[in-house]
Chains A and B, each alone.
Chain A
């Protein structure tokens, strides 16, 4: 039996990094990310993304976002537009886009090792 495709279509997992002087909490990152995307694309636009902040590691700044494959570009643009979280200036960088959560987590682990070196 073939794989059942979800009603939203294919997912994409965006591995991102937030660079800042302070450690940021998952809740703050998720809230400000949603806020920026809502301001930029509106409620209808964001609804097409089926966005979810899956992981965020406050120590390394690496995180994983999930969205539909058709909205990867605009989510990337939206993430790039975030300039501060809770008043802390930040710099965001998209590291990789994958088709599976497993691959995204592997990428994060590899990147963390590179940062620790």
Chain B
């Protein structure tokens, strides 16, 4: 009966927010606060609003490893968190074991083919978190959604078997795309992720990454 209720002492994090200027940012933060988020990782943002801690996140852009390396050198000092899209196996391997990279993510469902046990082990050694996006489950229908479920379930199995540090995100771009931590956990459970592991993915692990970066006082469990 307690499934919908989450421990209020936990801090919850949405790890991948894209904020455009086409809508009310104030409203976005109000909704995030109502839904129970305490920390947001937002691309190109910093500060604190509505009682929510915000950390700036930069997603590296580039078509190959050389461009990624160049951009990492340019932005590492500017951003609090650096995320790398696993565009190919070479980039994925480099990013996973690079201590200057905080998060690796998969820009489309096809890119999850690079997520295997060796990548997860490298990410653990490099103190890099793996981000799982639930976007295809929300935005696709029919066969595509079924395929997305299958791919993400396999990815979740690998992450759980290897004890990886991983996040779950809805990647909201507007307030109506936000989902509460409880909803993210409920959807994650459809991927075979146990409730406790799903809670860690939206709370404990993102805060662990912040602690590894030297931001104290966030992690409580």
Contact = CB atoms under 8 A, between A and B. Distances in A.
Interface of A: 12, 14, 19-20, 39, 69, 72-74, 76-77, 79-81, 83, 89-99
Contacts of B174: 89
A17 to B, nearest CB: 9
A99 B1 CA distance: 7
A19 B28 CA distance: 12
6 contacts: A12-B1, A73-B186, A90-B176, A91-B35, A94-B182, A94-B183
B5 A19 contact: no
B4 interface: yes
Contacts of A83: 138, 176-177
Interface in B184-213: 184, 186-187, 189-190
Interface residues of B, number: 26
Contacts, number: 69
B112 interface: no
Contacts of B3: 72-73, 76, 97
B180 to A, nearest CB: 5
A72 B2 CA distance: 10
B179 interface: yes
A112 to B, nearest CB: 15
Contacts of B79: none
Given A76-B186, A80-B187, A91 B4 contact: no
Contacts of B4: 14, 72, 76, 94-97
B69 to A, nearest CB: 38
Contact of A93 (B1, B183, B189, B190): B183
Nearest to B36: A93
Contact of B176 (A12, A73, A91, A99): A91
A73 B183 CA distance: 10
